[in-house]
Structure 1
């Protein structure tokens, strides 16, 4: 597969979907691109998400919180990363694309000590990275297989 455009989607597009976009773009082969968006964008990236990515050596240049109405390309695959256990309503992208759900609890909602909050962001990062690495390891003929994509959404900690 020479090119692929993925959309990572959540409600606010400030944390989980941006982590996903940045990690994917950091790991993906040339010609593959992830974008992220939200159904109700927060208007800014979560500072802890940006700091975490920078600590991991992943660029955040050019990333911003944006609406799914402002996409520069049409994706082939849309992956929602909303955490259903948190009672979030996961937005439903209406374009004719393959969809999968990779729910991740929102670390920005964690209340606790500095260490507990940092651990929640690290957990979200690790879950997302594990899933993206699993996706990138799929044989080319399975990358657009809904069952394979949904299975990847179960890897890592349960949501």
Structure 2
């Protein structure tokens, strides 16, 4: 038996795909192997991403942006693009992965004061985690799969 593999893809891999992977790992209690990657990864994870995920109680130490090239040979059960740029850049992955597109606002692009930006990061985190609360049980990702 193995866990489901879920790959969250965005452009910079510094905000919403990182949030999605952390939330999926937390909500699934280890039944989902969640990864986040970017088509043009940033140098570091956005500090506001780290802050809002820690606020939510999601383990988030050691997170770093990764390029999707690192995962091209990976067997993915579910490939989820988080922004339009990532959807356009998404390569074909081996196997019969379910491909989904979830078009969330990119919190890293939010303008305003630090407090206003933090509000956007929290909103997007909550939207992503709410979507995952519904999707994970419906998708079958929480069920172990025969090798």
Q: TM-score by structure 1 length?
A: 0.78
Alignment partners' CA distance in 1, 2:58 and 2:8: 17
Structure 1 CA distance, aligned partners of 2:86 and 2:21?
A: 20
Between the aligned partners of 1:3 and 1:129, the Cα distance in structure 2 is 20
User: 1 CA distance for matches of 2:75 and 2:43?
Assistant: 21
Task: Please give the root-mean-square deviation of Cα atoms over the aligned residues, in Å.
Answer: 2.2
22-31 or 43-52, which deviates more: 22-31
**Number of residue pairs matched?**
138
Q: Which moved more, 1:124-133 or 1:23-32?
A: 23-32
State the distance in 1 between where 2:138 and 2:54 align.
Answer: 27
Deviation sequence 1:9-42 (CA, Å, 0-9, x none): 0111111100001010011143321001011111
The alpha carbon displacement at 1:66 in A equals 0.3
1:2–1:32 Cα contact (<8 Å) kept? no
The answer for the alignment partner of 1:92 in structure 2 is 90
Q: What is the alpha-carbon distance in structure 2 between the residues aligned to residue 45 and residue 7 of structure 1? A: 17
Q: Which runs of 5+ in 1 are unaligned?
A: 144-159
Is contact 2:14–2:108 with CA below 8 Å preserved after alignment?
no
Name the residue aligned to 1:151: none
Which runs of 4 or more aligned residues in structure 1 lie more than 2 Å from their structure 2 counterparts after TM superposition?
Answer: 71-74, 88-91
Partner residue in 2 for 1:157: none
2:53 is aligned with 1:15? no
What secondary structure does 2:79 align onto? Answer: strand
- The aligned counterpart of 1:42 is 42
Instruction: Give the whole-Å Cα distance in 1 for the aligned partners of 2:52 and 2:98.
Output: 29
Q: Is the 8 A contact 1:7 1:77 kept in 2?
A: yes
Verify: 1:131 aligned to 2:101, yes or no: no
Cα distance between partner residues in 1 of 2:80 and 2:133: 14
CA pair 121-40 structure 1, distance change in 2 beyond 3 A:
same
Specify the SS of the correspondent of 1:25. Answer: helix
User: Residue in 1 aligned with 2:76?
Assistant: 75
**Which consecutive unaligned segments of at least 5 residues does structure 2 have?**
none
Q: What is the CA–CA distance in structure 1 between the aligned matches of 2:86 and 2:74, rounded to whole Å?
A: 25
- What's 1:3 paired with? 3
| Shift in CA distance, 13/5, structure 1 to aligned 2, threshold 3 Å | same
